[in-house]
Amino acid sequence: MLQIDDATSNSRLHVRLAENSAEVRAAQELRYRVFYDEMGAKPTAEMAAERADIDDFDEVCDHLLVLDRDKGEGAAGVVGTYRLMLRKKAESFGRFYTAGEFDISRIVGSDINFMELGRSCVDAAYRNRATMNLLWAGIAGYVKANDVELMFGCASLPGTDVDALAASLAYLHHWHSAPEQLRPRALDSLRVDMNRMPKDGIDPRRAWGNLAPLIKGYLRLGGYIGDGAVVDHQFNTTDVCVIVKTDQVTERYIRHYDRSGVESMAQA
């Protein structure tokens, strides 16, 4: 099982996969606090009663966790999470979360070994570079252990006013469109055109600065954006589909963390 200590935090923080249902539940409760309490998403009655963000995918995904030993062992220490689903698990389950918003048939129809990722969040007190580095290091270890060549998922811009987000959407469209042979496309019934401004009318530096940190992280790793966005009224966001080839992810984080630790994650 992957475990990477963060020297900048005096080894308080470490990253690994959830090992039991209590730790998965802690991740779901963290997601609820971030998505619903902080970001204003609209929970179902069941979610509100349980104060947990839950869906059918949780049972077939692996849950990457950042834990703080000072908060306690196991579930008590969960301060960050990412949800990961390998191709073989998604195909066995019969559906992909992203497919609810985007046509991903070009990816699914390829012979690439891919994984879907999403539901990323971090406790407000831990939103810093150290925590995000650990999450990315954990993803790098998981990718390497499972020979993943490409990862994809939904990423969100805050808010549902696409006119207010016009510069960000147009910037992603003009500068970061995915290669056509793999490019996801927003479902026609949900699709919002991202080409909302001419390229020469955009200040790329300002547009970059206004992007959500997670989207910047994907793009820094050479990620691409699909065709069209989707307004998600439940989560109070506007979603784009991100694709990242994993070679840059693994190379970057294996350089920064102990190689034996990064490679030690058991296959899911």
> Is 112 among the domain residues?
no
Residue whose C-alpha is closest to residue 72's, from 22, 21, 129: 22
For residues 214 and 250, the model is more confident at: 214
> Is 256 among the domain residues?
yes
> Is 98 among the domain residues?
no
Please check whether residues 130 and 230 belong to one and the same domain: no
Q: Span 224-228, mean pLDDT?
A: 97
In tens, the pLDDT along 132-154 reads 888 988 999 999 999 999 999 99
> Is 188 among the domain residues?
yes
Contacting residues for 54 by C-beta, under 8 A, at least 6 apart: 28, 46, 47
> Is 95 among the domain residues?
no
Please check whether residues 57 and 18 belong to one and the same domain: yes
- With 80 as the cut, is the pLDDT of residue 256 above it? no
* Mean pLDDT computed over every residue of the chain: 89
Please check whether residues 177 and 259 belong to one and the same domain: no
Cα distances from 191 to residues 118, 230, 243, in angstroms, run: 20, 5, 18
Q: Span 15-29, mean pLDDT?
A: 97
Q: How many domains does the chain have?
A: 2
- With 80 as the cut, is the pLDDT of residue 263 above it? no
Q: Span 112-117, mean pLDDT?
A: 96
Residue 261 banded pLDDT, cuts 50, 70, 90: very low
Separation between Cα atoms, residue 179 and residue 170, nearest integer Å: 17
> Is 190 among the domain residues?
yes
Q: What is the pLDDT of residue 8?
A: 43
In tens, the pLDDT along 38-82 reads 999 999 999 999 999 999 999 999 999 999 999 998 999 999 999
- With 50 as the cut, is the pLDDT of residue 260 above it? no
Domain that holds residue 160: 150-245
> Is 181 among the domain residues?
yes
Q: Span 98-124, mean pLDDT?
A: 95
The three-class DSSP label of residue 9 is helix
In tens, the pLDDT along 170-195 reads 999 999 999 999 999 999 999 999 99
Please check whether residues 37 and 131 belong to one and the same domain: yes
Residue whose C-alpha is closest to residue 89's, from 125, 69, 63, 65: 63
Please check whether residues 76 and 131 belong to one and the same domain: yes
Separation between Cα atoms, residue 184 and residue 97, nearest integer Å: 13
| Phi and psi, residue 244, nearest 5° | -135, 125
In tens, the pLDDT along 189-204 reads 999 999 999 999 999 9
> Is 101 among the domain residues?
no
Please check whether residues 201 and 237 belong to one and the same domain: yes
Question: 137: domain CATH number?
Answer: 3.40.630
**Cβ neighbour number for residue 149 with a 10 Å cutoff:** 16
Cα-Cα-Cα-Cα dihedral sign, residues 147, 130, 236, 16: positive
CB distance 137 to 253 below 8 Å: yes
